[in-house]
């Protein structure tokens, strides 16, 4: 069980690793509203990269551009060496890009197990011409492999006791964990987490923070995360970028960013004078 104190987790410097995700000069507008203006992001392989900022700063809009839900009017997004700027979301999934949502997007009428298996769908063979022969020879074996992987995820997230429960009947905290499980089932190289700890109590946040670290260190998944809990952000992030009114105002190591007067004024609401 989580303790009532939190010890910062030592994180390695990932700056020498290759860039897995590059966001270049992204601009996104809705009518006359400029949601993102000149946003640049470079996420290195193996990082936990956090994006923070006040409500309405454009954080989720940025994740939506990366995942393909939104299409920016200007700029370029490169993932693992491939320009994905105009690519459809399902194609981005096949390249290894997964995400969770700020608002839960589970199939409420389905079981936990079935929700997670949905995340494996794009990995299954579905060639019509070879389908019949494949079904006779390898489908059962493939299904067992997918289910074995899903069981590994279930054990990792400690949700074995709810695997047959209907997702819509679960508590908020458990549903957030199931959504994380479904995103993991995609076998992502990069996982976009949109406020994974929102609405959780202290112990639930501690659990999710540990899962994020283990996903990064043990499963080898690079993480881009939006999160409002500054204690968590500072403890587990390698790099932090701050958005305000759709513009980046600071980017760097967590402690350096949190000491930035612009950040403290815009995000923490402090009246801090800039150094002369």
* pLDDT tens track for 211-266: 999 999 999 999 999 998 889 999 999 999 999 999 999 999 999 999 999 888 87
pLDDT for res 58: 95
**Burial classification of residue 184, based on how many CB atoms lie within 10 Å of its CB (0-12 exposed, 13-18 middle, 19 or more buried):** buried
Kindly report, residue by residue over 195-209, the tens digit of the pLDDT: 999 888 889 999 999
**Stated pTM of the model:** 0.85
Return the higher-pLDDT residue of 271 and 95: 95
Return the higher-pLDDT residue of 262 and 50: 50
With beta carbons less than 8 A apart as the criterion, state whether 274 and 261 touch.
yes
User: How many residues in the chain?
Assistant: 276
> What's the CA gap between 44 and 22, in Å, rounded?
9
Non-local CB neighbours of 40 within 8 Å, separated by 6+ positions: 23, 24, 25, 26, 248
Q: Which residues pair with 19 in a beta bridge?
A: 44
How distant, in Å, are the alpha carbons of 26, 62, 163 from that of 36?
7, 7, 39
How distant, in Å, are the alpha carbons of 118, 202, 206 from that of 3?
35, 9, 9
> What's the CA gap between 17 and 45, in Å, rounded?
6
For residue 169, give both structure tokens.
Answer: 């009947």
Of the pLDDT bands very low, low, confident and very high (cuts 50, 70, 90), residue 91 is very high
Give ∠ CA 101-104-106 in degrees, rounded to 5: 110
Give residue 125's Cα distance to chain centre: 26
With beta carbons less than 8 A apart as the criterion, state whether 39 and 248 touch.
yes
The closest of 38, 23, 25 to 245, measured between CA atoms, is: 38
Task: Give all domains of the chain, ordered by start, each with its CATH number.
Answer: 14-96+188-276 (3.40.50.300), 109-186 (no CATH)
159, pLDDT greater than 90 = yes
pLDDT for res 136: 52
């Amino acid at each position: 069980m989580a303790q009532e104190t939190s010890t910062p987790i030592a994180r390695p410097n990932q700056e020498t690793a290759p860039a897995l995700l590059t966001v270049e000069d992204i601009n996104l507008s809705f009518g006359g509203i400029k949601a993102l203006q000149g946003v640049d992001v470079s996420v290195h392989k193996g990082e936990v990269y956090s994006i923070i900022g006040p409500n309405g700063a454009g954080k989720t809009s940025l994740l939506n551009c990366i995942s393909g839900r939104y299409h920016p009017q200007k700029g370029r997004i490169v993932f693992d060496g491939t320009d994905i700027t105009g690519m459809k979301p399902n194609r981005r999934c096949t390249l290894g890009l997964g995400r969770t949502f700020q608002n839960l997007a589970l199939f409420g009428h389905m079981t936990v197990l079935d929700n997670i298996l949905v995340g494996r769908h794009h990995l299954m063979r579905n060639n019509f011409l070879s389908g019949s022969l494949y079904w006779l020879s390898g489908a059962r074996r493939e299904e067992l492999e997918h289910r074995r992987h899903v069981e590994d995820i279930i054990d990792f997230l400690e949700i074995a006791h709810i695997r047959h429960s209907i997702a819509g009947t679960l508590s908020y905290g458990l549903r957030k964990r199931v959504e994380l499980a479904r995103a993991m089932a995609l076998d992502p190289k990069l996982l976009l987490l949109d406020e994974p700890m929102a609405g959780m109590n202290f112990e639930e946040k501690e659990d999710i923070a540990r899962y994020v670290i283990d996903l990064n260190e043990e499963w080898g998944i690079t993480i881009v995360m939006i999160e409002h809990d500054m204690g968590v952000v500072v403890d587990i992030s390698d790099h932090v970028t701050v958005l305000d009114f759709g513009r980046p105002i600071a980017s760097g190591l967590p402690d350096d960013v949190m000491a930035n007067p612009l950040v403290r004024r815009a995000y923490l609401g402090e009246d801090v004078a800039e150094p002369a």
